[in-house]
Amino acid sequence: MAREKFERTKPHVNIGTIGHVDHGKTTLTAAITATLALGGTAVAKDYSDIDGAPEERARGITINTAHVEYETEARHYAHVDCPGHADYVKNMITGAAQMDGAILVVSAADGPMPQTREHILLSKQVGVPNIVVFLNKEDQVDDAELLELVVSAA
């Protein structure tokens, strides 16, 4: 059966989430879709919908890249959620090679970790032109000075 013809009406951008294991990349991806779903430009995806393989669910980590699509009023996005575990860096490189820009997710509780640094380096090596840093898990920080800096910067 023939599929409906896809007509692109908006500029397309490939973005993705990168960073150290357990810093919240898949959770952020799910939150982006949930937020955009409120405006009707995306279908909300649960964390478990993104990390859908049985081994990923059992271990609680991303192993393979996952692709999620959504839109804003201005653009259509293909979002690649990359694994952060060192054992799956090959999969992260494959995902990053497709990106026009990346969201580097960093846990405020942990700060930059070994995979954080490696993902920055590898992203640049495969030609990702822009990286935005997303500071996650600020609610887990018990450092009043750091929290003040984050709140005042927002």
Give the Cβ contact number of residue 107 at 10 Å. Answer: 20
Q: Which residues are catalytic?
A: 22, 25-26, 85
Give the Cβ contact number of residue 74 at 10 Å. Answer: 8
DSSP state of 136: E
User: Token pair of 123, please?
Assistant: 């992203």
Contact in structure between 146 and 108 (CB atoms under 8 Å): yes
DSSP state of 40: T
3-state secondary structure of 91: helix
Contact in structure between 52 and 77 (CB atoms under 8 Å): no
User: Token pair of 23, please?
Assistant: 């810093």
